[in-house]
Structure 1
Amino acid sequence: MTIIRTVPEADATGAVAAIYADDVDELGYVAPHTAAMAMNPEALHAFEQLIRSVVPTLGLRRYELVTLAAARGTGSAHCRLAHGAKVLSKGLFGEAQLERIARDYRDAGLADDEVAMMAYAEQVGRDASAMTEADALALREAGFGDREIVDITIAASARVYFGSALQALAVDVDAPPMLGPAVRAALDPR
Structure 2
Amino acid sequence: MTIIRTVDPADATGEVGDVYADDVASLGYVPSHTRVMAVDVEAHLAFEHLAGTIASGLGLRLYELVTLAAAKALRSQACLLAHGRRSRSLFGDDQLARIARDHRDAGLTEAEVAAMDLAARLSTDAAQITEAETTRLRDAGLTDRQIVDVVLAASLRNYYSRALHALAVPPDVPPDLPAGLRQALLADGDDGDDGDADPGPAASAR
The DSSP-based 3-state class of the residue aligned with 2:39 is coil
Stretch deviating more after TM superposition (158-167 or 68-77):
68-77
Corresponding position of 1:134: 132
Which of the pair is proportionally richer in helix?
1
Work out whether 1:97 is the aligned partner of 2:85: no
Report the secondary structure of 2:36's partner residue.
Answer: helix
What is the letter of the counterpart of residue 164 of structure 2? L
Q: Given that residues 23 and 29 in structure 1 are in contact (C-alpha distance below 8 angstroms), is that contact kept between their aligned partners in structure 2?
A: yes
TM-score normalised by structure 2 residue count? 0.88
In the TM superposition, residue 3 of structure 1 has moved relative to its aligned partner by 1.9
Q: Over residues 70-107 of structure 1, what are the superposed CA-to-partner deviations in whole Å (9 max), with x where a residue is unaligned?
A: 1111111111110111112xx21122121111111111
Deviation at 1:57, TM superposition (A): 2.1
Match of 1:85 in 2: 85
Determine the structure 1 residue equivalent to 2:41: 41
Out of 150, 153, 156, the position equivalent to 2:151 is 153
Superposition deviation, residue 56 in structure 1: 2.4
Q: Which moved more, 1:150-159 or 1:136-145?
A: 136-145
- The code of the aligned residue for 2:155 comes to S
Provide the rounded CA distance (Å) in 1 between the counterparts of 2:105 and 2:49: 33
Aligned with 1:38: secondary structure? helix
Aligned residues: 188
Report the counterpart of residue 142 of structure 2 in structure 1. 144
> Identity of aligned pairs, percent?
55
| Alignment partner, residue 63 of structure 2 | 63
Superposed displacement of residue 177, structure 1? 0.9
1:16 counterpart residue number: 16
Which amino acid is 1:167 matched to?
H
Answer yes or no: is the 8 Å Cα contact 1:72–1:125 preserved in 2. no
The one-character-per-residue Cα deviations of 1:22-50 (angstroms, maximum 9, x if unpaired) are 11122221111111111111101111111
Counterpart residue type for residue 117 of structure 2: A
Matched, 1:32 2:24: no
Structure 2 unmatched runs, 5+: 191-206
Cα distance in 2, alignment partners of residues 145 and 78 from structure 1: 31
The AA in structure 1 aligned to 2:163 is: A
CA RMSD of aligned residues (A): 1.1
Deviation at 1:179, TM superposition (A): 0.7
TM-score under structure 1 length normalisation: 0.95
CA distance in 2, matches of 1:124, 1:3: 29
